[in-house]
């Protein structure tokens, strides 16, 4: 079995038969819907959020069919669960190929690629300029990336930038596992040299190309995490991504706007009117804020007694499914929105008895 099959099996196992295959598809593509965002956090799948942005439904269905045929999963209507055989082989795979701790698709889903494109074009450009070659084919054609790099290069002399970039890159890569650092370096292009593709790099080290992609993304995620924590230690690298790693960038742009209004003490109803959006959309934004900002108070939207009742039903039923919890509570004064708020605040710390096995 290849890495992609194991990733699908892992997702099915984490969802515990409570989500459809479509949920996995949206998760891996990084769909920015309230349901997918909440699923990623609630089922501890945020590391995999958006790691396969180009995955096709056909590829996913083919993987599911394979897992069914080989009795690694069972199907019940549109839901799937992992068999004992599937659990055993999954555990063996996780033991041999643990997901890197630094992998965090949710936090760095779009940002890592922007950083990589900026970085690679900067290194290629500097490598050529210090050798007097101003006539080269850029490896990045994205206009926004090229514009950023042009502005960035004005901040330094090419000799100073080349030296600082070399020192900081070597230093930050020392914190990476050797294979991940190798995957980073081998893809760089410079004067009269072209970087490898991730597929070429995978063949060089005799690993699955999907696994190589995961390791590479984890490497960039780790670098961004370090730059966020220690910007003064890496002034050049940090200046490449300062706009990508501020706390507010964790939220979708529309949710950022809603949060600004909440901070001005507007109610859900008032924000909906101001923004000409449905109240349910504003509720989605509040759930997203709750997941990303632990200090955000949910007290204006739910009282402590309601929180306790939702938690009790969730643990009693051993489920994270909103519908089952809502039906068990059977009270008009507790809404789906409030249940989602409680689950979001508990986040991936929720581990029910039935879901404790991994």
Per-residue pLDDT tens over the stretch 209-251: 999 999 999 999 999 999 999 999 999 999 999 999 877 777 8
Say which residues have a Cβ less than 8 Å from residue 348's Cβ, sequence separation at least 6.
Answer: 41, 42, 43, 44, 46
Each residue's pLDDT tens digit, 143-164: 999 999 999 999 989 999 999 9
The reported pLDDT for the residue numbered 279 is 94
Mean of pLDDT values over 44-56: 95
The reported pLDDT for the residue numbered 356 is 35
- What sign has the CA pseudo-torsion 272, 277, 280, 282? negative
The reported pLDDT for the residue numbered 351 is 52
Q: Return the closest-CA partner of residue 157 out of 133, 128, 115, 129.
A: 129
Q: Are strands 79-82 and 73-76 parallel, antiparallel or unpaired?
A: antiparallel
- Supply 180's token pair: 């991940």
pLDDT exceeds 90 at position 332: no
pLDDT exceeds 80 at position 196: yes
pLDDT band at 316 (very low <50, low <70, confident <90, very high): confident
Each residue's pLDDT tens digit, 108-143: 988 999 999 999 999 999 999 999 998 889 999 999
DSSP-assigned letters across all residues of 66-127: HHHHTTSEEEETTEEEE-HHHHHHHHHHHHHSPPPTT--HHHHTTHHHHHHHHHHHHHHHHH
pLDDT exceeds 90 at position 74: yes
Q: How far apart are CA 258 and CA 274, in angstroms?
A: 10
- pTM of the full predicted structure? 0.84
DSSP-assigned letters across all residues of 16-78: TTSSBHHHHHHHHHT---HHHHHHHHHTT-GGGTTS-TT--HHHHHHHHHHHHHTTSEEEETT
Please, what is the average pLDDT of the chain?
A: 91
Q: Return the closest-CA partner of residue 86 out of 101, 75, 70.
A: 70
Does residue 100 contact residue 215 with C-beta atoms inside 8 Å? yes
pLDDT band at 357 (very low <50, low <70, confident <90, very high): very low
pLDDT exceeds 60 at position 288: yes
Q: How far apart are CA 91 and CA 97, in angstroms?
A: 10
pLDDT exceeds 80 at position 353: no
């Amino acid at each position: 079995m290849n890495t992609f099959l194991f990733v699908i099996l892992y997702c099915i196992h984490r969802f515990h038969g409570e989500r459809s295959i479509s949920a996995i598809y949206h998760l891996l593509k990084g769909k920015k819907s309230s349901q997918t965002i909440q699923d990623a956090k609630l089922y501890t799948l945020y590391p995999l959020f958006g790691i396969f942005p180009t995955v096709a439904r056909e590829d996913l269905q083919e993987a599911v069919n394979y897992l069914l045929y080989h009795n690694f999963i069972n199907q019940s209507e549109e839901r799937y669960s992992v068999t004992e055989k599937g659990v055993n082989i999954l555990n063996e795979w996780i033991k041999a190929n643990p997901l890197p701790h630094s992998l965090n698709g949710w936090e760095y889903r779009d940002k890592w690629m922007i950083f990589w494109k900026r970085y690679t074009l900067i290194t290629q450009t500097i490598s050529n300029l210090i050798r007097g070659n101003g006539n080269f084919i850029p490896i990045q054609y994205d206009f926004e990336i090229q514009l950023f790099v042009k502005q960035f290069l004005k901040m330094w002399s090419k000799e100073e930038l080349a030296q600082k970039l070399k020192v900081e890159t070597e230093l930050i890569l020392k914190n990476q596992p050797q294979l991940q650092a190798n995957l980073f370096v081998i893809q760089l292009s410079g004067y009269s040299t072209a970087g490898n593709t991730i597929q070429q790099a995978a063949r060089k080290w005799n690993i699955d190309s999907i696994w190589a992609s995961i390791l590479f993304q984890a490497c960039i995620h780790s670098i961004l995490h370090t730059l966020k924590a220690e910007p003064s230690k890496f002034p050049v690298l940090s200046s490449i991504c300062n706009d990508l790693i501020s706390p507010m960038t964790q939220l979708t742009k529309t949710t950022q706007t809603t949060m600004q209004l909440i901070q001005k003490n507007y109610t859900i109803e008032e924000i909906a009117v101001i923004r000409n959006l449905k109240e349910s959309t504003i509720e989605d934004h509040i759930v997203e804020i709750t997941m990303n900002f632990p200090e955000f108070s949910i007290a204006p939207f739910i009282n402590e007694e309601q929180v306790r009742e939702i938690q009790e039903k969730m643990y009693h039923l051993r489920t994270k499914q909103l519908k089952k919890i809502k039906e068990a509570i059977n009270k008009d004064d507790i809404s789906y929105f409030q249940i989602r708020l409680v689950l979001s605040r508990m986040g991936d710390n929720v581990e029910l008895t039935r879901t404790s096995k991994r």
